[in-house]
């Protein structure tokens, strides 16, 4: 029997987290962790760390992945649905309200001027995200090659980004299996 | 109805291929939404900005926004459902094998390659956007008309914003607000640099 009270608690907790955390999925992780481990006692510290690792090693939105993993742990599939629904509810409401007036808003001269500055700042934000990511993502020669190859594939060869990812993952899996085999043979 | 299905499938693809969270969605949003002419590059940047300064996961905010622009409330639900569905299915399944997945050599190996590639994809998007937005009139790798079309003002904002976020670790939300204020002051002053 599905415990409705527990599902409501999951939903409500994620509405709060989704509705009050600025800065996206990564900013939510410590808040989800505190809420799940210290406040609601849904998981132990170690279980939570495992769920966060899992959330980051699956495709998709990190915030949604974390909510789904915790929801599944607490109440199975209904729990996963409640947590995820909670996480998207504030986004849906807030963004629909903004999108509904956005075009009118953009007709105001001052708003137009503001967005000239904002667009340049967003371009900078993307560059700073890339440079920051490079510190953890591009560490050896193989990774440097994949990084540069990805840029060339998109900008010059016009290859679709999904193919770039599939090829990179495939090459990396082959290489790491080859390395373990070689390591095992050497011992 | 066909727009709804198209939104759903486009965002399903976006959700399935965004590895690493946050900005990982950007190259796919660009390839799916900008190339389908759902958005111009300027609108795309506006949506990134709005998604950044509002609460909630950035990818979900962007999906809701693009969906709403294409097909109202139904469109925003379709896009959001699409972007969340891969997470739901894959993470629910993986949750039952959590220890195995976290120790898996295949998953680790895949991420060893996915991390730099995903980073390169965001880099390529960033370069694309810099070209089309800050250096208008310049086609890919074609530098004719460089000095007549370049927007010095946008480049200054770009450089200052980059230093603020990368070196000084200023919260992006404050950088966006600051850039908005400077944009208004510049517009009101009537200067053209």
Q: For residues B129 and A147, is the Cβ–Cβ distance under 8 A?
A: no
pLDDT of residue A134: 86
Q: What whole-number distance in Å separates Cα of residue B163 and Cα of residue B101?
A: 39
Asked if A165 and B133 come within 8 Å (Cβ–Cβ), the reply is no
Q: Which of B26-40, B42-56, B77-91 has the highest mean pLDDT?
A: B77-91
Q: Is the pLDDT at B21 greater than 80, yes or no?
A: no
- This prediction has a pTM of 0.87
pLDDT beyond 50 at B138: no
Q: Do B65 and A21 touch (CB under 8 A)?
A: no
Nearest to A150 among B121, B133, B162 (CB): B121
Which residues lie below 8 Å from residue B68, measured CB to CB, with a gap of 6+? A95, A96, A99, A100, B75, B76
Inform me whether the pLDDT recorded for B144 exceeds 50: no
- Chain A residues with CB-CB distance to B171 below 8 A: 23
3-class secondary-structure state, position B193 = coil
Q: Which of B9, B16, B57, B111 should one mutate to test binding to chain A, selecting the residue with the greatest count of A CBs within 10 A?
A: B57
Q: What's the pLDDT score for residue A2?
A: 67
Which chain A positions have a beta carbon within 8 Å of B59's beta carbon? 24-25, 61, 64
pLDDT tens-digit profile, chain A (187 residues): 568 999 999 999 999 999 988 877 777 888 899 999 999 999 999 999 899 888 888 888 889 999 999 999 999 999 999 999 999 999 999 999 999 999 888 888 888 888 888 888 888 888 888 888 888 888 888 899 999 999 999 888 888 888 888 898 889 888 888 887 776 665 4
List CB contacts (< 8 A) between A165 and chain B: 17, 19, 114, 117-118, 121
Average pLDDT, chain B: 83
Chain B positions touching A59 (Cβ under 8 A) are 15-19, 86-87, 90
Q: Within an 8 Å CB–CB cutoff, is residue A113 touching chain B?
A: yes
Q: Write out chain A residues lying below 8 Å of B138, CB-based.
A: none
Q: What is the pLDDT of residue A185?
A: 61
pLDDT of residue A180: 77
Of the partner residues A50, A100, A173, the one whose CB lies closest to the CB of residue B109? A173
State the pLDDT at residue B77: 96
DSSP letter string over chain A? ---HHHHHHHHHHHHHHHHH--S-HHHHHHHHHHIIIIIS--S-HHHHHHHHHHHHTSSS-HHHHHHHHHHHHHHHHHHHHHHHHHHHHHHHHHHHHHHHHHHHHTTSHHHHHHHHHHHHHHHHHHHHHHHHHHHHH--SHHHHHHHHHHHHHHHTS---HHHHHHHHHHHHHHHHHHHHHHHHHH-
Percentage of the residues of chain B whose pLDDT score is greater than 90: 25
State how far residue B110 is from chain A, nearest Cα, in angstroms.
4
| Spatial separation of the C-alpha atoms in residues B99 and A51, rounded to whole Å | 10
Residue B22: the pLDDT is: 67
Q: According to the model, what pLDDT value does residue B187 have?
A: 81
B42 → chain A, closest CA residue:
A119
CA of B44 vs chain A CAs: smallest distance (Å): 9
Confidence of residue B102 (pLDDT cuts 50, 70, 90): confident
A147 touches chain B (CB under 8 A): yes
Residue A130: what pLDDT?
A: 86
Contact map slice: B 49-108 vs A, CB within 8 A: 49-61, 64-65, 68-69, 73, 76-77, 80, 83-84, 86-88, 90-92, 94-96, 98-99, 101-102, 105-108
Using a CB–CB cutoff of 8 Å, tell me whether B140 touches chain A. yes
* ipTM for the assembly: 0.88
Q: Residue B20 and residue B18: Cα distance in Å, rounded? A: 7
Is the predicted pLDDT of residue B92 greater than 80, yes or no?
A: yes
Contact list in A for residue B57 (CB cut-off 8 A) is: 18, 24-25, 28, 61-64, 87, 91
Q: B164 versus A78: which is more confidently predicted?
A: A78
Position B143 pLDDT exceeds 70 = no
């Amino acid at each position: 029997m599905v415990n409705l009270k527990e599902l409501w608690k999951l939903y409500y907790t994620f509405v709060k987290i989704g509705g009050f955390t600025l800065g996206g999925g990564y900013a939510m992780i410590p808040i989800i962790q505190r809420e799940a481990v210290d406040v609601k006692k849904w998981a132990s510290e170690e279980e939570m760390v495992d769920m966060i690792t899992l959330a980051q090693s699956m495709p998709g939105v990190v915030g949604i992945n974390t909510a789904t993993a915790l929801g599944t742990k607490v109440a199975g599939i209904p729990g996963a649905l409640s947590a995820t629904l909670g996480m998207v509810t504030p986004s849906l409401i807030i963004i629909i309200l903004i999108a509904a007036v956005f075009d009118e808003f953009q007709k105001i001269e001052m708003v137009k001027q503001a967005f000239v500055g904002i667009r340049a700042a967003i371009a900078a934000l993307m560059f700073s995200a890339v440079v920051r990511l490079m510190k953890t993502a591009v560490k050896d020669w193989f990774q440097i090659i994949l990084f540069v190859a990805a840029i060339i594939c998109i900008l010059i060869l016009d290859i679709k980004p999904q193919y770039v990812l599939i090829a990179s993952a495939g090459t990396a899996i082959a290489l790491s299996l080859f390395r373990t085999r070689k390591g095992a043979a050497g011992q | 109805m066909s727009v709804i299905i198209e939104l759903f499938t486009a965002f399903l693809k976006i959700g399935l291929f965004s590895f690493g969270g946050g900005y990982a969605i950007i190259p796919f949003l660009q390839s799916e939404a900008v190339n389908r002419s759902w958005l111009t590059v300027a609108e795309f940047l506006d949506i990134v900005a709005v998604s950044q300064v509002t609460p909630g996961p950035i990818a979900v905010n962007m999906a809701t926004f693009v969906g709403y622009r294409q097909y109202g409330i139904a469109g925003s639900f379709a896009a959001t459902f699409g972007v969340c569905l891969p997470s739901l299915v894959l993470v629910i399944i993986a949750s039952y094998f959590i220890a195995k997945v976290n120790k898996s050599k295949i998953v680790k190996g895949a991420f060893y390659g996915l991390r730099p590639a995903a980073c390169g994809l965001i880099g390529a998007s960033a370069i694309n956007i810099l070209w089309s937005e800050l250096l208008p009139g310049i086609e890919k790798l074609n530098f004719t008309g460089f000095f007549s079309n370049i927007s010095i003002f946008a480049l200054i904002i770009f450089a200052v914003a980059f230093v603020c976020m990368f070196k000084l670790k200023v919260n992006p939300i404050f950088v966006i607000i600051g850039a908005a204020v400077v944009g208004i002051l510049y517009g009101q002053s009537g200067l053209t640099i």
